[in-house]
Amino acid sequence: MLRFLLGRVTLIIPTFVGVTFLSFILLHLIPGDPIEVRAGERGIDPVRLEELRHDYGLDQPLWKQFLDYEVQIAHGNLGVSMVTRETVWNEFSTLFPATIELTISAILFALIIGIPLGVIAAVRRGSPFDYGLMGMSVTGASMPIFWWGLMMILVFSVALGWTPVSGRISDAYFIEPWSGFMLVDCWYSDPGACRSAFSHLILPTIVLGTNPLALIARMTRSSMLEVLNEDYIRTARAKGLVASRVVIVHALRNALIPVVTVIGLSVGGLLSGAILTETIFSWPGVGHWLIESIQRRDYPVLQGGTLVIGVLVILVNLSVDLTYGYLNPRIRR
């Protein structure tokens, strides 16, 4: 197990360097000088432009900029935003709880709805429910988030008035950010604050959770179908156990192992989905922040943000690998 762990951890280092290198190169491939973009139609005096390029280190050759950046990262410094002049880490840590809150609730939503649906579809294989669910899951997996989000707003917020349009909480409440998680901080405010925070979370959760829900439902179904044909299930049935016990205790527990992997792997997808969801619902998380920095060519924010998110995805994948290794001794070798 220790060797397995060491092997995996050692792999992190080249992956980490790869992420920094790729994010650096890709960002610098985007045409457009950050200073020219900021000056806009007004233009900028060429002398001043050179001064500013020098101040930001943009006049250095690309390899030098990359090396300087790596050294800076090695010192634990993600840099300072070119626009707001705040440190990238400060900005990230202020916004990240909102993204985490949204991502966790989307995963929970996908699990709570997706697993039972997958199980029912597997048990009633070939029934109209099964076909209906699989059809819906293909639709869910291929739904463009932007369109889906706007449709939900138009129907549930504008036409029916059931849910708020966007934001994290009604503007009537004044919340002091203590933990950054609105569902926690709301307890320190008025009694209605938590209800408001919860109602604001509903639509973004559904929109972000739709894609993983479809994936989890399909995965659970196919994995369940496989397990339900195993000999030990037949044995359990032959013993005269009630059907629900056979399905939930004997089959589902084993069928969930591949589902766990899917959840881990979809974290990266969820974070990229969060970028769009946050933009539509004015959700103040890191996705929203990164999109804005692309438009402003705020290199330090983009590089720092991509790096931290990249590291998080690596860590989640590592923990999935480790959990899987723990659950399935065959892959430890």
**Is 32 a binder of another protein (CB under 8 A)?**
yes
* Euclidean distance between CA atoms 53 and 69, whole angstroms: 16
Q: Which of 39, 113, 202, 314 binds another protein (CB under 8 A)?
A: 39
* Euclidean distance between CA atoms 57 and 51, whole angstroms: 10
Q: Which tokens hold the place of 150? A: 């706007």
* Euclidean distance between CA atoms 139 and 121, whole angstroms: 16
User: Who contacts 306 (Cβ-Cβ below 8 Å, separation ≥6)?
Assistant: 19, 23, 27, 290
Question: Binding marks (x or -) toward another protein, 178..217, rule CB under 8 A?
Answer: ----------------------------------------
- Per CB under 8 A, contacts with another protein among 265-294 are 279-282, 284-285, 288-289, 292
Max Cα separation, the chain?
86
Q: Which of 14, 76, 126, 161 binds another protein (CB under 8 A)?
A: 161
Question: Binding marks (x or -) toward another protein, 128..157, rule CB under 8 A?
Answer: ----------------------x--xx--x
Minimal distance, residue 294 CB to another protein, in Å: 11
**Is 126 a binder of another protein (CB under 8 A)?**
no
**Is 239 a binder of another protein (CB under 8 A)?**
no
**Is 65 a binder of another protein (CB under 8 A)?**
no
Minimal distance, residue 151 CB to another protein, in Å: 11
Residues that bind another protein (rule: CB under 8 A) add up to a total of: 55
Dihedral sign for Cα 35, 36, 40, 41, please.
positive
Buried b (16+ CB within 10 A) or exposed e, 114-137: bbebbbbbbbeeeeeebeebbeeb
**Is 167 a binder of another protein (CB under 8 A)?**
yes
Of 307, 266, 265, the closest CA to residue 286 belongs to 307
Q: Is 85 or 330 the residue whose CB approaches another protein more closely?
A: 85
Backbone angles phi, psi at 267, to 5 degrees: -60, -40
Of 274, 295, 270, the closest CA to residue 215 belongs to 270
CA 137 to chain centre: 20
Q: Which of 15, 65, 77, 84 binds another protein (CB under 8 A)?
A: 84
Residues in touch with another protein (CB under 8 A): 30-34, 36-43, 45-46, 48, 52, 55-56, 80, 82-85, 91, 94-95, 98, 150, 153-154, 157-158, 161, 164-168, 170-172, 174, 176-177, 279-282, 284-285, 288-289, 292, 297
